[in-house]
């Protein structure tokens, strides 16, 4: 596996995103409740990772990963009530991400599988949930 090099995103403070690309989190994210608008940025150089960039604060962004890359049935392990809370009832339309902590090498990189970001991409709304009884942890290694 080749080493992942992440360049710091260069976003101007005046960056404006169109409203159809912004995901709104009513409650914000844990520790960042004041930031409610985010854009999911894809970049070929970052794959399979993406950047969840705050539309409110150019200095705030998170590296995220689709958790099914690591745990194939991850979506099924999230309680149905959590999907219903964001209006996603069709299992084929489920979209989730985990916030990643990039380590010094791939084996030290972890993901917060206990507090995923669930997104309803049809309504462009999202919610961070805490899976208390799941057995997932805050620092799940990305490489088994």
**Nearest Cα to Cα of residue 70 among 14, 123, 116, 23:** 116
| Per-residue pLDDT reduced to its tens digit, 60-107 | 999 999 999 999 999 999 999 999 999 999 999 999 999 999 999 889
For the chain, the structural domain boundaries read: 20-141
CA–CA dist 1, 8 (Å, integer): 21
Segment (H or E) for 125: strand 125-128
CATH 2.30.290.10 fits 20-141, yes or no: yes
Question: pTM of the full predicted structure?
Answer: 0.84
**Length of the chain in residues, anyone?**
144
| Per-residue pLDDT reduced to its tens digit, 33-54 | 999 999 999 989 889 999 999 9
Query: DSSP assignment, residue 42?
Result: -
CB distance 95 to 121 below 8 Å: yes
């Amino acid at each position: 596996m080749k080493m992942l090099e992440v360049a710091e995103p260069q976003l101007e403070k005046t960056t404006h995103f169109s409203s159809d690309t912004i995901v709104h989190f009513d409650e914000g994210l844990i520790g960042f409740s004041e930031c409610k608008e985010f854009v999911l940025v894809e970049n070929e150089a970052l794959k399979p990772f993406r950047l969840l960039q705050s539309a409110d604060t150019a200095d705030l962004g998170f590296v995220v990963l689709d958790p099914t890359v690591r745990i194939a049935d991850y979506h099924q392990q999230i309680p149905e009530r959590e999907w219903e809370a964001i209006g996603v009832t069709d299992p084929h339309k489920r979209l989730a991400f985990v916030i990643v902590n990039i380590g010094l090498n791939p084996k030290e990189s972890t993901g917060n599988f206990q507090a995923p970001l669930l997104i309803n991409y049809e309504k462009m709304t999202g919610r961070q949930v805490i899976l208390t009884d799941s057995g997932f942890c805050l620092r799940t290694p990305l490489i088994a």
